[in-house]
Amino acid sequence: LPLSLPREIGRLHSLEDLRVMGNPFTELPDEVWSLPRLAWLHLDGEQWHHVPEAMRKRGKPVIQVI
């Protein structure tokens, strides 16, 4: 069953670097993609089910899967 970060993360308008590693999350809420200052997104391995293609092409945030 997919487990997502809380939607309230969208309230963190100053967030620039998001590291989602070492936890059970497998999906990101849509609110992550509208964070205005988010420049880096670090994800842990193959547990991620969905990163929208539009976000991969946008170039920001820079997505790093470790």
Each residue's pLDDT tens digit, 19-65 = 988 888 888 888 888 888 999 888 877 666 566 665 656 666 777 77
Please tell me the predicted confidence (pLDDT) of residue 13: 96
The pLDDT of residue 1 is 76
Stated as kind and residue range, the H or E segment containing 14 is none
Q: What is the pTM of this model?
A: 0.74
Q: Which helix (H) or strand (E) holds 41?
A: strand 40-43
Does 8 or 29 have the greater pLDDT score? 8
Residue 40, phi then psi, degrees to nearest 5: -130, 135
The DSSP letter of residue 58 is H
